[in-house]
Amino acid sequence: MKYEQLAQEIVKNVGGKENINSLTHCITRLRFKLKDESKANTDVLKKMNGVVTVVKSGGQYQVVIGNHVPEVYADVVKVAGLGADVQRDEQEEKMKPFDKFIDIISGVFQPTLGVLCATGMIKGLNAILIALGLLVDTDSTYIILNAIGDCLFNFFPVFLGFTAAKKFKMNQFTAMTIGAAMVYPAITGLAGTTVDFCGIPVVMPMSSYQSTVVPIILAVYIASKVEKFFKKVVPDVVKTFIVPFATLLVSVPVTFMAIGPVATWASNLLGAATLAVYNFSPVLAGLVIGGFWQVFVMFGLHWGLVPLAMNNLSVLGYDPLLATSVPVCFAQTGVVMAILLKTKDQKLKSLSIPAVISGFFGVTEPAIYGITLPRKKPFTLSCIAGAVAGAIVGFFGSKGYTMGGLGVFAIPAYINPAGIDKGFYGMILSMVVGLVLGFALAFFNKVDEEVEETKEEATQTAIQEVKKAEETLKEALNKDAAEKVAKREVIVSPLKGQVKKLSDIEDPVFSSGALGKGLAINPTEGKVIAPADGTVTTFFPTGHAIAITTDKGAEVLMHVGMDTVQLQGKHFSPKVKQGAKVKAGDVLLEFDIHAINEAGYSTVTPIIITNTANYLDVIETDQTEVSYRDELLTAI
């Protein structure tokens, strides 16, 4: 970590991790919400190398860092052991519902997938041994292997209770206890019956809660809210045991009386619906899932299918959906094999060999991100081959009977417990077709020429750079011209309004000049324009602060208002994106002056050159009022 030492000192002097309620950052500051600000060593922080100053404002303890605050923020989060939780609080508020759903699914299921695949592979091995007649289901070897393969899935609510608790931020052992109650033998024995709890009827699901996924996730979500309530009302001295006692006493009965039956009904309906779509046209389903599977994986959308597959396994005993994605890795591997044979580029060849090996075992990230996606056409060809292979799976009706491994390790999961059937042969055929078709499409297309074209483009770029260097050298020979370029840079006014000295504004960080020299403008119009030709290097998500690096090297920060970061983007309308190239006068931002003032915030806007140290001096305009594009600052 680049700023690890600084981060450690900051955490220590704000009172330690236990004193931090929340942490965010804006364009220059770490914004802490501390439990007790008196525990922070403000004087020590102010004198610390790497800290500009400390400001207490708006209920926040603000440690001013400067332009590199994002890097310091990341290291503070790691050093304090805050993990992703602090960042997630900010991000989840802004997430769209579908994005939030994907985030929850990935957060709950991802930690289990490795061991889930491992146990599935063991079940697959058992299936092979049974199919070959090497074992029978009464052998002790079979029973032990089956116990290893079945244990995770049979007690899935316990494991998902743990991961869901981490996602919903509650005590993980309390959540595991809820999951354990759902699979408790006496409860499992009540499957399909109607019982009562304190006189209230409880309908138990037909297939028990073993192997289910939706009920425990909903149960833990509700329990997290219950636990949060009791944490607020229970005295600290007895919280350790009273909070879990009360949480379990409320959550478990509610799970059995309401959450479980409703979630089970919804799960059954969902499984039936997805199966109905598949039954409508298995070939079409395979074509779509197989063709777009790699795209789904890249954007994390595949997590939406994982719980459906698990639900189908628990309700139906098999799943046809994920089956259509299995041969896709072979399609990708076939494309890379063709590139390996065709290319003359030794570096590309050295990348392709391990990508092919890992591809056969279902790990295609090296192939996708290192080889096919950067060249575009190979990736498209792999998607085409994957679509055809997926359609074959749909045509043969291949089904998975357990959550197995990836690549060749997935094969055992598609053996029907009743014996090898056409679905199994269809899966093998789809893998072969995906591999061969991917290879053929790439081999007989000019993929290798595209690699050579990349080289040619690089050569042309190099030639252009040499020409630019020659032109620069010629210009440098004219000393007068070179000196004129280097002598001064004019920054024009990005706003219209009254000019104020930095020392006259309320914010001590800007007024002290700690972040650089400049001026402030009290705007009369809600518009910010580019003060010079350059690149938007930072555009804070809330829209209140913009930094531009001019083509001549000045780093200009425009901070609209004081503490306006707390408006969370309200009343700000960005007109360009971070990284955009702009010309002087281009509109960067529009904002509602009246609404911001009504919300209790000033719109006085500091405009400073943050790399002032790179200049001999920064001369300020002597005008008391400016309009757009009037000369404001001159850097010498």
Q: What is the pLDDT of residues 526-567, one digit of tens each?
A: 999 999 999 998 888 888 889 899 998 899 999 998 888 888
* pLDDT bucket at 48, cuts 50 / 70 / 90: confident
Whether residue 450 has pLDDT greater than 70: no
Q: 634 - beta bridge partners?
A: 490, 619
- Strands 618-620, 572-574: parallel, antiparallel or unpaired by DSSP? unpaired
- Residue 442: predicted pLDDT: 92
**DSSP-based three-state secondary structure for 633:** strand
The pLDDT of 349-376, averaged and rounded, is 76
| More confident site: 481 or 601 | 601
Among candidates 548, 536, 541, which has minimal Cα distance to 568? 541
Q: Enumerate residues 6+ apart whose C-beta is below 8 A from 449.
A: none
- Strands 194-197, 53-57: parallel, antiparallel or unpaired by DSSP? unpaired
The pLDDT of 504-511, averaged and rounded, is 80
Taking the C-alpha atoms of residue 48 and residue 55, their distance in angstroms, rounded to an integer, is: 14
Max mean pLDDT range (93-107, 255-269, 319-333): 319-333
Q: Taking the model in full, what pTM does it have?
A: 0.46
- Residue 15: predicted pLDDT: 92
Residue 51 near residue 67 (C-beta atoms within 8 A): no
Residue 415 near residue 424 (C-beta atoms within 8 A): yes
The pLDDT of 12-33, averaged and rounded, is 83
129-138's contacts with Cβ under 8 Å and 24+ in sequence apart are 130/417, 131/415, 131/419, 131/420
Whether residue 281 has pLDDT greater than 50: yes
Whether residue 61 has pLDDT greater than 70: yes
- Residue 615: predicted pLDDT: 81
Question: What does residue 434 show for φ and ψ, rounded to 5 degrees?
Answer: -60, -45
Instruction: Kindly state the DSSP code that residue 139 receives in the 8-state scheme.
Output: S
Taking the C-alpha atoms of residue 40 and residue 254, their distance in angstroms, rounded to an integer, is: 43
Residue 263 near residue 215 (C-beta atoms within 8 A): yes
Residue 400 near residue 309 (C-beta atoms within 8 A): yes
Taking the C-alpha atoms of residue 319 and residue 299, their distance in angstroms, rounded to an integer, is: 23
Percent of the chain with pLDDT over 90: 32
Whether residue 525 has pLDDT greater than 90: yes
| More confident site: 258 or 208 | 258
Max mean pLDDT range (24-33, 131-140, 215-224): 215-224
Whether residue 612 has pLDDT greater than 80: yes
Whether residue 317 has pLDDT greater than 60: yes
197 token code pair:
């709890």
| More confident site: 403 or 330 | 330
Catalytic residue positions, numbered: 26, 559
The region of weakest confidence among 9-13, 250-254, 335-339, 499-503 is 499-503
Residue 188 exposed, middle or buried by CB count within 10 Å (0-12, 13-18, 19+)? middle
Q: Burial code of 325-355, b = ≥16 C-beta within 10 A, e = fewer?
A: bbbbbbbbbbbbbbbbebbebeebeebbeeb
Whether residue 589 has pLDDT greater than 60: yes
- Residue 314: predicted pLDDT: 74
* pLDDT bucket at 373, cuts 50 / 70 / 90: confident
